[in-house]
């Protein structure tokens, strides 16, 4: 991992990108860099008249930044825009550091976070398509330049030919696997991660405050069982609910504005895991100028993902500490469910109560089971997945009355016992 990163947001002076402020675009890009633990040492907003074909940004600016990059010992520059392979390489040569564009950064994040089999395949497919484009184009560029200045450290043509073939083969293979996965998708869903508590997933835009809320809710009490998850997935941790219940909080990949179209399928696939959650928290930055559009984006994608608006969802309006007047809450007056500052902690207790109530509603069904008295495993399962309301021992049997989700009642019957 590069230790020291420069994040650069370019924008076109004559074509301001809609309502979006360059500052909030830069902020989002920094948020993306943070999402894969890059250390942002320097940032820049660069206004452009038009892109320069060789280096994307003008030569004067390239020179100026060269000094800054050397001074701060920058190892990686992230350009928050799509670069051509040539531009990317020319900038690397000029600055003496690695350069990646927005698509590559997002691919890195997806790659680090894809959890399901399908997610991993979709992300790898997108990464290979991206790489393939790069290789093909740099190859034609090489040909054009043959006899010219040549390329320092660039791969030779035959090497590129081999790489292209390998990539093509791999793409074909992944596509086949994806077809298979799609066909058996229903099956995969059933084999959900067997965590002992209900799962609450955080969704929302990058920078909305998901990770801050994640840390606030789970940070205070890291339980020993978390070490178990930690090895599996650092983005899942347990937390305590008012009333004694426990749940697992899952931090998901954030939405990004203007997602490159070639990454849409990969993004959807990384979101698949939210389908398995028992509850969603839609975290919104209500102080953001695009708050309303962001809300619609998230809701649209979730609706497509679930086939209908998700049922068990809490809209969490975050960053209320940044709002100047309470009337601006929610952006257009249509309120959310909870108003919090993940930063100061305001409203977080009320949110926790809301989550607890939502969970209870989900665990509405009451079931009675009769188990052999010695079946500690079955009892432990019931305690882990539901609320044991009553138990009565009768000779060699225990009669248990338990609150469980209908889904878990079914699972328990399959796993352990016959219902009374």
Cβ distance to ligand GDP smaller for residue 113 or 385: 113
If contact means CB under 5 to 8 A according to the sort of partner, which of Mg ion, ligand GDP, none does residue 341 touch? ligand GDP
If contact means CB under 5 to 8 A according to the sort of partner, which of ligand GDP, Mg ion, none does residue 274 touch? none
Burial class for 87, CB neighbours closer than 10 Å (0-12, 13-18, 19+): buried
* Number of residues binding to Mg ion, judged by CB under 5 A: 2
The verdict on 122 binding Mg ion (CB under 5 A) reads no
Three-state DSSP class for 10? strand
Cβ distance to ligand GDP smaller for residue 320 or 409: 320
Residue 388 to residues 142, 245, 374, 380, 401: CA-CA distances in angstroms? Answer: 69, 12, 17, 10, 6
Question: Please, what is the minimum distance in Å from the beta carbon of residue 304 to Mg ion?
Answer: 22
Residue 394 to residues 363, 388, 391, 400: CA-CA distances in angstroms? Answer: 27, 17, 10, 11
Do 362 and 405 contact (CB within 8 A), yes or no?
A: yes
If contact means CB under 5 to 8 A according to the sort of partner, which of ligand GDP, Mg ion, none does residue 284 touch? none
Cβ distance to Mg ion smaller for residue 177 or 212: 212
List CB contacts of 303: < 8 A, sequence separation 6 or more: 309, 310
Max distance between CA atoms of the chain, in angstroms, equals 92
Question: Please, what is the minimum distance in Å from the beta carbon of residue 48 to ligand GDP?
Answer: 27
Question: Please, what is the minimum distance in Å from the beta carbon of residue 277 to Mg ion?
Answer: 16
Cβ distance to ligand GDP smaller for residue 36 or 54: 36
If contact means CB under 5 to 8 A according to the sort of partner, which of Mg ion, ligand GDP, none does residue 319 touch? ligand GDP
Rounded Cα gap, residues 4 and 77, in angstroms: 9
Question: Please, what is the minimum distance in Å from the beta carbon of residue 253 to ligand GDP?
Answer: 9
Question: Please, what is the minimum distance in Å from the beta carbon of residue 298 to ligand GDP?
Answer: 12
In sign, the C-alpha dihedral spanning 322, 324, 328, 331 is negative
Residues pairing with 56 in the sheet: 52
The alpha carbon of 335 is separated from its chain's Cα centroid by a whole number of angstroms, namely 25
Interface residues with ligand GDP (CB under 6 A)? Answer: 31, 34, 204, 206-212, 254, 318-319, 321-322, 341-343
Question: Please, what is the minimum distance in Å from the beta carbon of residue 220 to ligand GDP?
Answer: 16
Cα Rg, the chain, nearest whole Å: 25
If contact means CB under 5 to 8 A according to the sort of partner, which of ligand GDP, Mg ion, none does residue 358 touch? none
Rounded Cα gap, residues 109 and 214, in angstroms: 18
What ranges in 220-284 are assigned the alpha helix state H?
224-232, 264-271
Which residues within the stretch 189-218 sit at the binding site for Mg ion (CB under 5 A)?
210-211
Structure tokens at 16: 């301001």
Q: Which residue is nearest to Mg ion (CB)?
A: 211
Question: Please, what is the minimum distance in Å from the beta carbon of residue 366 to Mg ion?
Answer: 38
Cβ distance to Mg ion smaller for residue 10 or 209: 209
Residues lying near Mg ion in the complex (CB under 5 A) are found at 210-211
């Amino acid at each position: 991992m590069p230790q020291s990163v420069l994040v650069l947001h370019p924008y076109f002076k004559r074509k301001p990108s809609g309502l979006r402020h360059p500052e909030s675009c830069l902020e989002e890009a920094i948020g993306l860099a943070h999402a894969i633990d890059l250390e942002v040492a320097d940032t820049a907003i660069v206004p452009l008249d038009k892109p320069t074909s060789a280096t994307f940004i003008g030569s004067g600016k390239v020179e100026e930044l060269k000094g800054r990059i050397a001074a701060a010992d920058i190892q990686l520059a992230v350009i928050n825009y799509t670069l051509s392979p040539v531009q990317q390489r020319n900038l690397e040569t000029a600055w003496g550091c690695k350069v990646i564009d927005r698509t590559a950064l997002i691919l890195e994040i997806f790659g680090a976070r894809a959890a399901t089999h399908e997610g991993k395949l979709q992300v790898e497919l997108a990464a290979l398509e991206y790489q393939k484009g790069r290789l093909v184009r740099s190859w034609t560029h090489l040909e054009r330049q043959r006899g010219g200045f040549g390329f320092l450290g660039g791969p030779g043509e035959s090497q590129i030919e081999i790489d292209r073939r390998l990539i093509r083969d791999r793409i074909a293979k992944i596509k086949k696997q994806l077809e298979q996965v799609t066909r058996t998708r229903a099956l995969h869903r059933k084999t959900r991660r067997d965590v002992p508590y209900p799962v609450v997933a955080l969704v929302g835009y990058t920078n909305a405050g998901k990770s801050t809320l994640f840390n606030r809710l789970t940070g205070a009490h890291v339980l020993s069982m978390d070490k178990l998850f930690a090895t599996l997935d650092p983005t899942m941790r347990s937390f305590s609910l008012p009333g004694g219940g426990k749940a697992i909080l899952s931090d998901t990949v954030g939405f990004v504005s203007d997602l490159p179209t070639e990454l849409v399928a990969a993004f959807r696939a990384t979101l698949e895991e939210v389908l398995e959650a028992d509850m969603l928290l839609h975290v919104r930055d209500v102080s953001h100028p695009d708050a309303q559009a962001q809300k619609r984006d998230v809701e649209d994608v979730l609706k497509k993902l679930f086939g209908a608006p998700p049922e068990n969802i809490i809209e969490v309006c975050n960053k209320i500490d940044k709002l100047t007047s309470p009337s601006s809450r929610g952006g257009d007056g249509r309120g959310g469910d909870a108003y919090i500052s993940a930063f100061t902690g305001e409203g977080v207790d009320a949110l926790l109560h809301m989550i607890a109530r939502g969970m209870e509603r989900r665990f509405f069904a009451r079931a009675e089971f009769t188990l052999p008295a010695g079946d500690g495993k079955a009892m432990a399962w019931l305690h882990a997945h539901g609320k044991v309301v009553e138990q009565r021992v009768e000779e060699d049997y225990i009669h248990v009355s338990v609150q469980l989700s209908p889904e878990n009642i079914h699972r328990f019957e399959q796993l352990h016992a016959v219902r009374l």
